[in-house]
């Protein structure tokens, strides 16, 4: 027996009419007749009789009606229980994030959410943008927050916030004498620190460098490091200069550990997007769905 057949049968029994049951269920009368016929065939019993006074139930139909009403009632209660459980945000929410979102954005976002969602446990895994997207695509995390667009079959990658990259140098007299303007030609002669190839920061940095006439391959790369914190430590100790997240550099610059150069004319290529990454058409947990909806708004507040 199918639930739809039972639903049709209960409506026919209550309304004592095939046509009125069809109107109530937004079906055609032949469809109603087909459902009843299929149910009778499966049970090998006649359930209804058509008379001049309308539809009458047989003894078999009366017996079935008692259980059919209970089954449909239980189905409604099951739906209510699922919706009630979904309204309560609890459990573990797994998020895969690239370096900058993991270290500088999500802690601030989750600090706000934890006050509203005390029963949600956040589990964050960090990697570059490609690795974070892979974890989401392979069901190791529900959501991804990454610093570069990634295309994967069956997944969505949508912008959810932005920031500006900055050039950071050691706090030394030769850089202080530049008065906030770093000549592009000096980039070619200065040791440079870079992130790994899958980093969103590195991709955006290379795009900007090309726009000012600097081939990234011509840089004197003194080191490739795996995190923004390692890059900033290297800059602080004189290993080289680097382009990094403005969010990440701000606290270091305020502490007098590095100098920051923001570029001229508000170059749009210094603006980098953050992206929300998730599986298309795959149901999310209530907490993940709520974060998917709220994250763009939360990031606009934090980054404004």
Tell me what the pLDDT averaged over the chain comes to.
89
Task: Quick: pLDDT tens for 238-251.
Answer: 999 999 999 899 98
Q: Tell me the C-alpha distance between 164 and 166, whole Å.
A: 7
Give the C-alpha separation, 132 to 142, whole Å. 11
Statement: residue 81 has pLDDT above 80:
no
Q: Please tell me the predicted confidence (pLDDT) of residue 242.
A: 96
Q: What is the pTM of this model?
A: 0.63
Of 275, 245, 65, nearest to 157 (Cα)?
Answer: 275
Decide: helix, strand or coil at residue 29: helix
* Residue 259 clears pLDDT 70, i.e. is over it: yes
Q: What domains sit in the chain, N to C, each tagged with a CATH number? A: 3-87 (1.10.10.10), 91-160+273-303 (3.40.190.10), 163-271 (3.40.190.10)
Predicted local confidence at residue 77, as pLDDT? 66
In angstroms, rounded to a whole number, what is the distance separating the alpha carbons of residues 109 and 303? 11
Q: Is the pLDDT score of 76 beyond 80?
A: no
DSSP 123-167: EEEE--HHHHHHHHHTTS-SEEEESS----TTEEEEEEEEEEEEE
| pLDDT value for 270 | 84
Backbone torsions φ then ψ of 153, nearest 5 degrees: -60, 135
Q: Is the pLDDT assigned to residue 197 strictly greater than 80?
A: yes
Q: Check whether 39 has a pLDDT greater than 90.
A: yes
Average pLDDT rounded to a whole number, residues 186-197: 92
């Amino acid at each position: 027996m199918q639930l739809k057949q039972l639903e049709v049968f209960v409506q026919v029994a209550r309304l004592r009419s095939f046509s009125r049951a069809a109107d109530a269920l937004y079906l055609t009368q032949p469809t109603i007749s087909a459902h009843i016929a299929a149910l009778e065939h499966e049970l090998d019993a006649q359930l209804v009789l058509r008379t001049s006074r309308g539809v009458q139930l047989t003894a078999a139909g009366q017996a079935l009606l008692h259980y059919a009403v209970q089954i449909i009632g239980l189905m409604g209660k099951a739906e209510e229980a699922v919706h009630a459980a979904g309204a309560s945000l609890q459990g573990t929410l797994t998020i895969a994030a690239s370096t900058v979102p993991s270290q500088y954005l999500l802690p601030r976002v989750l600090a706000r959410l934890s006050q509203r969602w005390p029963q949600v446990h956040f589990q964050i895994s960090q990697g570059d943008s490609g690795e974070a997207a892979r974890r989401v695509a392979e069901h190791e995390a529900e959501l991804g927050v990454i610093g570069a667009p990634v295309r994967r079959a069956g997944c969505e990658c949508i912008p959810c916030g932005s920031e500006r990259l900055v050039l950071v140098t050691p706090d030394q007299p030769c850089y202080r004498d530049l008065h906030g303007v770093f000549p592009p030609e000096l980039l070619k002669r200065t040791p440079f620190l870079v992130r790994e190839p899958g980093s969103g920061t590195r991709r955006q940095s290379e795009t900007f460098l090309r726009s000012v006439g600097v081939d990234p391959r011509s840089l004197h790369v003194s080191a490739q490091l795996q995190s923004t914190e390692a890059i900033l430590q290297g800059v602080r100790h004189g290993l080289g200069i680097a382009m990094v997240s403005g969010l990440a550099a701000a606290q270091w610059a305020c502490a007098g550990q590095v100098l920051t150069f923001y570029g001229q004319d508000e170059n749009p290529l210094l603006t980098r997007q953050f992206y929300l990454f998730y599986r298309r058409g795959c149901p999310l947990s209530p907490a993940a769905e709520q974060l998917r909806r709220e994250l763009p708004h939360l990031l606009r507040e934090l980054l404004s």
